[in-house]
Amino acid sequence: MSEFRGIYTLWKREVLRLVRETSRLVSSVVTPVLWLVIFGTGLGVSMGTSAGYNYQQFLFPGIIGQTLLFTAMFMGISVIWDKQFGFMKEILVAPVSRLSIFIGKMLGVGTNSMLQGIIVFILGFFIGIPITFIMTIEIIPLMILVTIGLVCIGLIIASVLDSLENFGVIMTFVNMPMFFLSGALFPVATLPDWLKWVFYINPLTYGVDAMRAVTMGSVWHTILPLWQTIAVIALFDVVAVLIGSYAFTRTK
Amino acid sequence: MTYMIEARNLTRKFGNLTAVDDISFQVEKGEVFGLLGPNGAGKSTTISILCTILKPTWGTALVNGFDVVKNSSQVRKSIGIVFQDPSIDDKLTGRENMVMHGDLYGVPRSQMKSRIDEVLKLVELEDRADSYMSTYSGGMRRRLEIARSLIHYPKVLFLDEPTIGLDPQSRDHIWSYIRELIKNEDITVILTTHYMEEADRLCNRIAIVDHGKIVAMDTPKKLKDDLGGETITVKTRKNELFLEKINEAKIAKAAAIVNDEVKMTVDGAASLLPAVINIAAQNSIFVESISVQEPQLDDVFMHYTGRALRDGKGKEIPPMIRMRRRA
């Protein structure tokens, strides 16, 4: 019981902080809008609608994936902030297990990135994505599934690092490659074989792929059958949660 | 007599460095026990072991009867901690920080509000409870941390350098709150400090820690009495040379340069003063001022460690801090 209360209070802290930092929420919406409206329109015009869908429709799930990725990583890494500014100590000496701390943090960060992902999803309505009720109830669980693994990556990195000096390095070597090599911006199927495998080992590739299946319907052909794609994401989540909780229980 | 804290041969190594070296002590219920020593002496490491943050390399410790390694969860429930570094969430209000602590420590929800009000009142922050932490001053943050550490009715309170980095006024405030809580709460307090005056004013007993070892442990009064003798403080224009000559003459039990003055512990200062002045005169050292003092805790420290508590650090602590009365 007390463990649940610990998880709840850690989750609540993240949500309170999110609500307080409205400027961050606003700025985090601006980036996807720029991608969707400017990049999407610009590149879309030159690409046309050859395959039965336009580029913005194709880009839209990719940008949801990007939002989930960046928020989850950024917020996951915020644990380093807690370490640096001492708040982590208060949590670590509390009579709450490390596993609960990890779960509370994961749920809190996950809520953050879900909220931003949903905002971007709603924005799709304004750029002409035909959002339906069915699509909404299909994509939300899928987004949750994608988020869990990404949050864990952020938390794992945070449990290893002690200072934020490496933040830029993480952006360069983790965030950007994961984004560019996920098929968020262009289809994987038409790539040369030597490049394809890099996409196939990126968990976000499957997340974006599955979300495309939901928002674009039958015009989109997933890399693997949809259930297998979802299975890959779920498997990745399980592994990430296990590694994350292990890394967290060992953190000082 | 059962002890609230019992450390037996505690040792903690970091690689080749032995931060805590075979420390043993007991603290009785209701005591205020001080660990006194310079930075890096091993005080915080000792506290970290007792708070279950670090595991001892060797030795054991019981807190409230629970083993810090085997029963760490029980230990955590029994203790409150104020860390040396701040540990509050700036984005939350004072009260939100407090509620979070209560939730983490499983304080019954029905008692939570009244208990938080109670401890906030103790540190006189009840009016500021709903302001964001980012608007608090350094002293107020400290006070809130002290209040927060008390929410779950801890049996033992650890204060790791509770007044470090605070101005003398806020330091005085913190002292009076600590005294107040000792009076009102059924609690045992362990504090670390490198302020002699703090230890002298607050503690029933003091352990002087140096290089990871306890070099002396007793009541402040006893420690001072044991030392006997007085302190002669001489300010000269050539302190190094003067210290050298004093040491050669072997008239002091201990001597060192503190805050640009030569301090020496002696027996029978009155009869030694002429000799001290002669040494200066013979070596053509100009004496600017000279004074004789009854023993202070500073001198105790110097006696046991052979150097001043804040060697080479200059004037970190004003020689006299005025007691402020709270309205």
Contact A16 B96 (CB under 8 A): yes
How would you write A164-215 as a 3-class SS string? HHHHHHHHHHHHHHHHHCCCCCCCCCCCCHHHHHHHHCCHHHHHHHHHHHHH
Amino acid at B11: T
- Identify the closest residue of chain A to B85 by CA–CA distance: A86
Contact B103 A89 (CB under 8 A): no
Instruction: Give the pLDDT confidence score for residue A206 in this predicted structure.
Output: 95
Of B69, B21, B37, B90, the residue nearest B208 (C-alpha): B37
Least confident of B24-38, B67-81, B256-270: B256-270
For residues B62 and B156, is the Cβ–Cβ distance under 8 A?
no
Query: Other CB atoms closer than 10 Å to residue B9's CB: what's the count?
Result: 13
Please name the member of B81, B89, B96 whose beta carbon is closest to the beta carbon of A87: B89
pLDDT tens profile B22-52: 999 999 999 999 998 888 889 989 999 999 9
Mutate to test the interface with A, among B64, B79, B104, B151 (most CBs of A within 10 A): B104
- Identify the closest residue of chain A to B54 by CA–CA distance: A252
- Identify the closest residue of chain B to A11 by CA–CA distance: B100
Minimum distance, in Å, between the CA of residue A105 and any CA atom of chain B: 13
**What is the extent of the structural domain holding A165?**
2-249
- Identify the closest residue of chain B to A104 by CA–CA distance: B104
Residues A65-82, mean pLDDT to the nearest whole number: 89
Contact A93 B86 (CB under 8 A): no
Minimum distance, in Å, between the CA of residue B48 and any CA atom of chain A: 10
Whether the pLDDT of residue B221 is over 80: the answer is yes
Contact B100 A93 (CB under 8 A): no
For residues B111 and A101, is the Cβ–Cβ distance under 8 A?
no
For residues A148 and A106, is the Cβ–Cβ distance under 8 A?
yes
Q: To the nearest 5 percent, what fractions of chain B are helix, strand and coil?
A: 35, 30, 35
Strand order in the sheet with B230-236: B254-258, B261-266, B230-236, B287-293
Say whether residue A87 is in contact with chain B using an 8 A CB cutoff.
yes
Instruction: Give the pLDDT confidence score for residue A50 in this predicted structure.
Output: 65
In which residue are the tokens 């370490």 written?
A83
Minimum distance, in Å, between the CA of residue A103 and any CA atom of chain B: 14
Domain tally for chain A? Answer: 1
Average pLDDT across chain A, whole number: 89
pLDDT tens profile A180-233: 999 899 888 888 888 888 899 999 999 999 999 999 888 888 888 999 999 999
Distant-in-sequence, close-in-space partners of B225: CB < 8 Å, separation ≥ 6: B295
In which residue are the tokens 């409230």 written?
B64
Minimum distance, in Å, between the CA of residue A244 and any CA atom of chain B: 20
Please name the member of B86, B103, B106 whose beta carbon is closest to the beta carbon of A86: B86
Minimum distance, in Å, between the CA of residue B232 and any CA atom of chain A: 43
Chain B CB contacts of A94 under 8 Å are: 76, 101, 104-105
Say whether residue A75 is in contact with chain B using an 8 A CB cutoff.
no
For residues B9 and B59, is the Cβ–Cβ distance under 8 A?
yes
Say whether residue A214 is in contact with chain B using an 8 A CB cutoff.
no
Minimum distance, in Å, between the CA of residue B163 and any CA atom of chain A: 17
Minimum distance, in Å, between the CA of residue B266 and any CA atom of chain A: 45
Minimum distance, in Å, between the CA of residue B320 and any CA atom of chain A: 32
Rounded to 10 degrees, what is the CA torsion of B222, B224, B230, B236?
Answer: 170
Contact B100 A9 (CB under 8 A): yes
Strand-pair category, B287-293 with B230-236 = antiparallel
Mutate to test the interface with B, among A87, A112, A162 (most CBs of B within 10 A): A87
pLDDT tens profile B85-121: 889 998 899 999 999 999 999 999 999 999 999 999 9
ipTM for this prediction:
0.85
Contact B89 A13 (CB under 8 A): yes
Instruction: Give the pLDDT confidence score for residue B257 in this predicted structure.
Output: 87
Say whether residue A16 is in contact with chain B using an 8 A CB cutoff.
yes
Coil, helix or strand at residue B108? coil
pLDDT class of B327 with cuts at 50, 70, 90: very low
Specify the pTM. Answer: 0.81
Query: Other CB atoms closer than 10 Å to residue A176's CB: what's the count?
Result: 12
Instruction: Give the pLDDT confidence score for residue B318 in this predicted structure.
Output: 36
Contact A93 B105 (CB under 8 A): no
Report chain B residues touching chain A, CB-CB < 8 A: 51-53, 73, 76-77, 81, 83, 85-92, 96, 99-101, 103-106
For residues A113 and A151, is the Cβ–Cβ distance under 8 A?
yes
Whether the pLDDT of residue A249 is over 90: the answer is no
Task: Provide the total of helices (H) and of strands (E) in chain B, helices listed first.
Answer: 11, 14
Instruction: Give the pLDDT confidence score for residue B313 in this predicted structure.
Output: 38
Instruction: Give the pLDDT confidence score for residue B312 in this predicted structure.
Output: 38
Chain A CB contacts of B91 under 8 Å are: 16-17, 20-21
Say whether residue A23 is in contact with chain B using an 8 A CB cutoff.
no
Reading the block at residue B262, the tokens are: 């030569």
Amino acid at A34: L
Least confident of A100-104, B38-42, B139-143, B316-320: B316-320
Contact B91 A91 (CB under 8 A): no
Beta-bridge mates of residue B289: B235
